[in-house]
Structure 1
Amino acid sequence: MKATGTPFEVAEAVAAVDALLDLPLPEDGPTQWEPSKGEGWSGSYGAGFRLKLLWESRAYFGVPGPEWDAAQEEAEAYLTALTRALDERWGPHRQVSMRAFLLGEVDDASVPPLFAELRAFDLYGELMVWGPVTSPPGPRWVAVSVGQCDEDAPHMMVAAVSDVPIEELPGD
């Protein structure tokens, strides 16, 4: 498979998830961006969650074509590899759909901060979720996902850690 974006190693992605699990989660306050070494966004934190960018493809300009398809396949393969590694550690994951957002069925007043941040980046890919898992600060829920805000933006793989269960949002 031809790489379309930043390098990806499963062991590094698992280590990044472990690092998220070790960090304290803010109890309240507005969502903040993590400082980035380069341009753009590398992660966020807010009331009860942390979100980290694990991988991204390059951006694509114009309508989807063979290069976009290759990036999509690469993103899905990387997500599958990471999901398998985390399944080996914590047991089978469950999927949490972001479909309610796509259909406009979510009451904005009831959106938890983690989901609000995912929506801010238009990251509507299915969440692969484990939890509660043991971590030094206490029980946590972990999710990984791949999304893309529009057809010419990079595919982005993110990891999230939450101090509350990550559950599918009810529609209106």
Structure 2
Amino acid sequence: MSVQQYIARIDELLARPLTGGDTYHLVTLRESRDFAPPNDDWDELVRISEEFEGELKDLAAALDARWGPHASMSMEEYAYAFLDPDDDELPPFFRELCDCGYFGDLLYWRVGDRLVAASVGHEDKEEPVVLFAGVTGSADGFPEDAQ
């Protein structure tokens, strides 16, 4: 897929209503193969991870031109909270990201009353690398500048 195709998928998410229990929508923009044995070629994993990060950078540049500069945030505190069996207070959008293993730093933009986020996720060394985007109507869990 091209950056323009990724943007079209994000536009589709923005057009979808957020109703009932749906306070967010996620979409996989691109997914690599898995790296479970016997496909555990670590050099290829590094190459693919770098390729996906490059695509995220290109997507961010296109969205910056459209909506202004993005902000970014670490998912580290949510990863720790997710792994803590006594912590069940994760906002729904961030709980879903953690459930999917998407612990990479998020890039995000305010678009009207919604937030658009994008990142590269890689749950563990055997799982696929994923370029994804999400749209949420809730700023819960985002830094104050997103409120």
TM range (shorter): 0.7 to 0.9
SS in 2 for 1:109: coil
Aligned to 2:34: 59
CA change 1:164–1:83 in 2 (3 A) is same
**1: CA distance between counterparts of 2:76 and 2:115?**
20
Aligned to 1:10: 3
Q: Which stretches of structure 1, 4 residues or more, deviate above 6 A after TM superposition?
A: none
Aligned residues: 138
Aligned to 2:17: 24
**2: CA distance between counterparts of 1:75 and 1:58?**
13
TM-score (norm 1): 0.74
Larger RCO (CA within 8 A; separation ≥ 6) = 2
1:78 CA drift (Å): 0.7
Q: Percent identity?
A: 36
Aligned to 1:128: 107
**2: CA distance between counterparts of 1:118 and 1:164?**
14
- More helix by percentage: 2
Q: Which residue of 121, 124, 143 maps to 1:147? A: 121
Listed as ranges, the gaps of 5+ residues in structure 2 are none
**1: CA distance between counterparts of 2:18 and 2:4?**
23
TM-score (norm 2): 0.85
Aligned to 1:87: 64
Listed as ranges, the gaps of 5+ residues in structure 1 are 1-7, 29-45
Contact 1:76–1:146 (8 Å) recurs in 2: yes
Q: Does 1:115 align with 2:99?
A: no
SS in 1 for 2:128: coil
Contact 2:78–2:90 (8 Å) recurs in 1: no
Contact 1:26–1:49 (8 Å) recurs in 2: no
After superposition, the CA RMSD in angstroms is: 1.8
User: Residue type matched to 1:49 in 2?
Assistant: Y
1:64 CA drift (Å): 5.8
SS in 2 for 1:101: helix
SS in 2 for 1:92: coil
- Residue by residue over 1:15-51, the C-alpha shift from the partner in whole angstroms, topping out at 9 and shown as x without a partner, is 00001000001232xxxxxxxxxxxxxxxxx3x1111
